[in-house]
Amino acid sequence: MSVASAAYLARRAAQKERVRILYRRALKDTLNWAVHRHLFYPDADALREKFEANRHVDNIETIDRMVAAGEATYNKWRHPDPYIVPWAPGGSKFCRNPPPPQGIEIIYNYGREDNV
Amino acid sequence: MASALRSSILRHIRVPLSRTLTLNGSKTTAVRSMSSHGDDHLDKQEVIDRVLDIVKSFPKVDPSKVTPDVHFQKDLGLDSLDNVEIVMAIEEEFKLEIPDKEADKIDSCSLAIEYPSSTSFLPMNCIRRLLWTNY
């Protein structure tokens, strides 16, 4: 039915990547909104069901439209204050104590400085 | 009394500084990383154990099939969405933040083990703002 040309397969692969990245972000967002795990698990299952329901769609245009709609929904539901790992860029501890440059040392001469 | 005498003497005589303790001597205590990330110096076996524990406790996975070089989709029969879930679990376990493109590429246990052990937790790309320059 559909010719499995390289362009078609490349487009499908790009779509699959978009879906995976969308699922990842949506899952993280779900964790942001539902902080407690016992609330997170049902929400994550519901999200998974939504993705599973459209698993067998074949028409490439429909998939494009669905992914775009999913991304729009994700943008609408993004948490205003997401949890970012502290050591990651955007986190609170990022660059907090960078390592000092090489060659800088402390000279221990307390009490023996020049008395001016 | 003694301190006044000392300072009066020192005003006239120049006592040379003696560089006693430079940090290059003791290499063992010199490497004290400033980051408070507890996972800084992991050894490989620990990383392997933790990653395998995560994969084994995934409900759709048969624990007996999990080895350090198993491929998630081909060997364990998982889905790409399950793959995403496993990568998220690894991120949470090692308190890492994996960028989206990299996370997409983690497809097998070997890649998943190599990622936390190779990521340096010291902020290498951080721009040092010199706060004391233009006052």
Q: What is the C-alpha to C-alpha distance for residues B86 and B56, in angstroms, rounded to an integer?
A: 10
Q: How far is B57 from chain A (nearest CA, A)?
A: 15
What is the reported pLDDT for B37?
A: 62
What is the reported pLDDT for B100?
A: 86
DSSP state of B17: P
For the cut 90, the answer to whether the pLDDT of residue A30 exceeds it is yes
For the cut 60, the answer to whether the pLDDT of residue B28 exceeds it is no
Q: What is the C-alpha to C-alpha distance for residues B64 and B66, in angstroms, rounded to an integer?
A: 6
Please write the tens of the pLDDT for every residue from A44-83: 999 999 999 888 888 889 999 999 999 999 999 999 999 9
What is the reported pLDDT for B29?
A: 42
Residue with tokens 């005589």: B13
- Banded model confidence at residue B31, pLDDT cuts 50, 70, 90: very low
Suggest the residue from B58, B88, B106, B129 to mutate for an interface test with chain A (most A CBs closer than 10 A): B88
CB contact under 8 A, A16 and B127: no
For the cut 80, the answer to whether the pLDDT of residue A7 exceeds it is yes
CB contact under 8 A, A24 and B33: no
Contacts of B19 in chain A (CB under 8 A): 107, 109
Q: Is B127 helix (H, G, I), strand (E, B) or coil?
A: coil
Looking at chain A, list the stretches that DSSP marks H as alpha helix, in order from N- to C-terminal side: 6-33, 37-53, 60-76
The whole-number average pLDDT for the span B102-111 is: 85
The helix (H) or strand (E) run that includes residue B48 is helix B44-56
Q: pTM of the entire structure?
A: 0.71
